[in-house]
Chain A
Amino acid sequence: MSTRAGVPSRPAAPGEAQGIIGGSAAPLPTRVLRHGAYEALAMLRNGEQLVLAIVLPLLALTGLVLTPLLDAYGSSRIDVAAPGVLALCTMSTAFTGQGIATGFDRRYGVLRFLSTTPLGRSGLILGKAVAVAVVLAVQLVVIGGTAALMGWSPRPEGILPAALLLLIGSAAFTALGLLVAGTLRPEATLAVTNLVWILLAAAGGVIIPAAALPAAAEPFVAVLPSAALGDGLRHALADGFLDPIACLVLLAWAALASLAAIRWFKWS
């Protein structure tokens, strides 16, 4: 759109001749990618975030392979463990990590300041999505690579369905993280996102399949985004098919959480 249209013309100010005045926005893709890279770098440089994003998933992977915890759910421990740990990674980055970072940025007025720059509110959110995708890609390389060294052999026909589930899953968890960060104080966001991460990791169908839980709990757990992502990734990478129920559950969570975040997110 034209930037000067509708603005009354005025005599050139002295600054325009010297180039002091004359701000114009960088193109949208540049703004979003630059902000995504900036936030991804900030997440990867933060020690606590690295523990959450890389160290804990690696420990989980090692523990699951060394113990008989998953022996009931498949012939190969690593083939059952690796998809669940990838789901765990998605929750770490999109929900907990990104939620905490956004909560504190909101406290310090960073969100308000950046939304006055050409980045704007929509660019800020898109940039966060890019940052989550970048960090998740790093996790996939590190965790997937380590799992491969431990003998993981995912089904090739399951790669594409898994990528789709990771995409929808990270969208759902990013929206949930933003919802928490935009409605609670940052200290509460820190507590809530960490607690939810631990609870979902332990009993949310992420690592241990929802079907393995007590019969009374299973229907509730099965509709959690964590179980949809964990079970969906296991079906894709261990069994080689796209789980339509898991897909729908994740899509529903992504849509609901996005609507709720749009409705209730407070910028200051």
Chain B
Amino acid sequence: MPTTPSALVIDGLIKDFGPVGSLDGRMVRVLDGVSLSAAHGAVTVLLGANGAGKTTTLECAQGLQRADGGTIRLLGEDPHRASPHLRARVGVMLQDGGLPPSVRPLALLRHVASMYSSPLPVDALAERLGLDEFGAVSIRRLSGGQKQRLALACALVGRPEVVFLDEPSAGLDPQSRTIVFDLINELRADGLAVILTTHLLDDAQKLADYVYIIESGRTVAEGTVAELTADTDTDGMRELRFDTVPGLMLPADLLPHLHQREPEPGQYVLRGALTADDVAQLATWWASLGVMPTAIAMAPRSLEDVFLDISGRSIR
């Protein structure tokens, strides 16, 4: 972690929802001990499956929801009692955008800008995010990617020090994705603390300086992508792919520590801590069956393996 003081520090965050009618009026604990910190000049990624608690964590950090336990310090203050001055230093992009459908994009951006004493120049920001291309239509006519770009502009127009982006790549077409990812990298270079959620491993791998994996309302792992994917107990290979005849699943007593899948008929993926001995056993088994693979490939540990190791299931 960088050594400058953190922009956001969350410690032991607890949040209950409810009472829920279908559960006889009981409360549901959606966050059960989320702890994380986010540095200035870095992209901090909250990675987790849908429903893991990423958005609720952000909403508590933004002051939109009150925590039921634990502490949150956003730029040293309690976000739930945020003054207008604190809110001016924090930009927020909500998962559903929070955009009024009947308003024109640039009119909304100008209105949001008017809440700040020295906002970014609206026209330049609109041009940078390509908003000027669709400035004349109402927001309800925009594509998902266009709405995401507008919501991003609204989060940035006040020149924040901290910016929260909830699933910023959701619904992005390739062009929007490039614009948004380039901008996020620029924000990091400009010294902002960028805190974003995603359920896409690819996003996390591309953008993150530091990753927190959230699972069932808890932060269960953290580190840089390199740290998380580093192997200590194996020869470094975590994935073995091979192609051969369809329907050839390993017997239960062969390599039980590996997780096997056949995503397409005849294409197999084995995941886990692989050793040279595992490969030898596999080859012996193929030979005993008289089977010859048509392709074999190995891959090192990825974020997907990390997620699988922790949660016992695939993120998707």
Binding site for B on A (CB under 8 A): 1, 3, 6-16, 18-28, 30-31, 34-35, 38, 42, 46, 105, 108-120, 123, 267-268
Contact = CB atoms under 8 A, between A and B. Distances in A.
B88 A108 contact: no
A108 B102 CA distance: 11
Interface in B149-174: 151, 154, 158-161
B41 to A, nearest CB: 6
Contact of A108 (B63, B98, B117, B154): B98
B89 A112 contact: no
A26 B62 contact: no
Name the residue among B84, B91, B114, B191 with the largest chain A CB count within 10 angstroms.
B84
A103 B142 CA distance: 22
A22 B159 contact: yes
A21 B161 contact: yes
A172 B90 CA distance: 34
A30 to B, nearest CB: 7
5 contacts: A12-B191, A23-B160, A25-B88, A108-B97, A110-B98
Given A13-B41, A26-B115, A118-B87, 17 more contacts: A1-B83, A8-B5, A13-B191, A15-B190, A16-B191, A20-B192, A21-B159, A21-B161, A24-B88, A24-B118, A25-B115, A109-B96, A109-B97, A109-B99, A113-B97, A115-B64, A116-B94
A26 B190 CA distance: 23
B192 A119 contact: no
B4 A10 contact: yes
Interface of B: 4-5, 40-41, 62-64, 75-77, 82-92, 94, 96-103, 111-112, 114-120, 151, 154, 158-161, 187, 189-192
A116 B91 CA distance: 8
A20 B214 CA distance: 31
A117 B192 contact: no
A250 to B, nearest CB: 31
Given A20-B159, A23-B88, A116-B63, A15 B191 contact: yes
- Provide the main secondary structure of the chain A interface: loop
Contacts of A1: 83, 85
A34 to B, nearest CB: 5
B64 A267 contact: yes
A106 to B, nearest CB: 10
A42 B102 contact: yes
A23 B120 CA distance: 9
Given A3-B85, A118-B88, A25 B62 contact: no
- Provide the main secondary structure of the chain B interface: loop
A109 B94 contact: yes
A123 B84 contact: yes
Q: Nearest 4 A-B pairs (CB), nearest first? A: A13-B191, A113-B98, A15-B190, A109-B98
B118 A22 contact: yes
A113 B111 contact: no
A46 B102 contact: yes
A21 B116 contact: no
A1 to B, nearest CB: 6
B76 A38 contact: no
Contacts of A30: 114
Given A28-B84, A267-B64, A23 B161 contact: yes
A118 B84 CA distance: 4
Contacts of A114: 98
Contacts of B77: 6-7
A13 B84 contact: no
Nearest to B190: A15
A19 B86 CA distance: 18
Contacts of A12: 191
A26 B75 contact: no
